[in-house]
Each structure stands twice: as C-alpha cells, then as structure tokens.
Amino acid sequence: MSATFHFPEVFMMRPAFVLMAALFVLAGCESQRQIITQKEDYLLAAGFHQQPANTPNRIAKFRKMPPHRFIRQVNATSHEPAYLYADPSICGCLYVGDAKAYGKYLADQKKRNLTTEEEDGEIIDTSHVGWDWGPAGPGFNSGYGPGMGW
C-alpha cells in the first residue's frame, strides 16, 4: 500500500510553520535588543556618558567605529585613556568613559557573571591607527572623549 499525501493538509500546515518560524526570529531579535539595552544601562551606572551622533562630523566618525565593541583611545596631550562604545542600533550614540568608569563596568560585570571575552581584555586600541579624534576636550561631562567637536 502506498502512502498518499493530501495537498490541502500540507498547505494548511505551511502557514503555521512560517508563523512559528517568524515568531522565533522576532523573539531572538527582541532578546538581542534587551541585551544591548541592559548593557547600556550598566555602562551609564559605571560612569560612562552618552554622546549623540547628531552632527555630520560626528555621524561620519561614528560610522567608522565597530558597533557594540569597546575602543580604547589615548588622549595625545594628557596620555589618559578614554573608552568608547558605539551603539548604532538602540540610541545611535556613543558611550564615553575614562579608565575608572571602564574598570567599574568590568568589576560590575564580573559580579554579575556577565563578562565576555571582549570585556576580559580584548579592546580595540586605536591609539596607533591614526584616526583623527583630536585631544579630549570639554563637553563630555567627564573630560574624556574623541575630541573637540564631538
């Protein structure tokens, strides 16, 4: 005896499958959004400051930065490091912190057992790349940042 397929039954199952797949994808996207939002809350709590990418110059610099990664930028004048974190997906802004804020962020993450490989020390150091961030200047609340005009 051979098996027979009833096409109407197969087609009736297909929309349900597509709907389930779409729900899983949407749930995954929302989870990623929540993870990023929570990370940004932790950055603010550690002492980072939010800077909007709201001018053509800032937007151009912002687009060159790797998203959701820490960048270490050393001030050419004071030789103090600034830690930058670009978020193009939630706020479209840059988080700027000094060594103290970055250290507090890492310590808080270790307490929460949320430290990733990146946060265990793998930071992009742009001090040698030659990006023209300029000296850190005012307007960053903490005195650190990619420079005047940001």
Please tell me which residue, 140 or 1, carries the higher pLDDT value.
1
Cα–Cα distances in angstroms (integers) from residue 41 to residues 64, 127, 133, in the given order? 24, 27, 25
Average pLDDT, the chain: 73
pLDDT for the residue numbered 11? 55
Above 60 in pLDDT, residue 22?
no
Please tell me which residue, 93 or 128, carries the higher pLDDT value.
93
pLDDT for the residue numbered 31? 79
pLDDT for the residue numbered 6? 59
Q: Which percentage of the chain shows pLDDT scores above 70?
A: 55
The span from the CA of 97 to the CA of 45, in Å, is 11
If we measure between CA atoms, which residue out of 26, 23, 25, 86 comes closest to residue 60?
86
pLDDT for the residue numbered 142? 43
User: Is residue 105 within 8 Å of residue 97, measured between CB atoms?
Assistant: yes
Task: Provide mean pLDDT across the span 23-49.
Answer: 79
The pTM of this model reads 0.61
Q: Kindly report, residue by residue over 77-108, the tens digit of the pLDDT.
A: 888 999 999 999 888 999 999 999 999 999 99
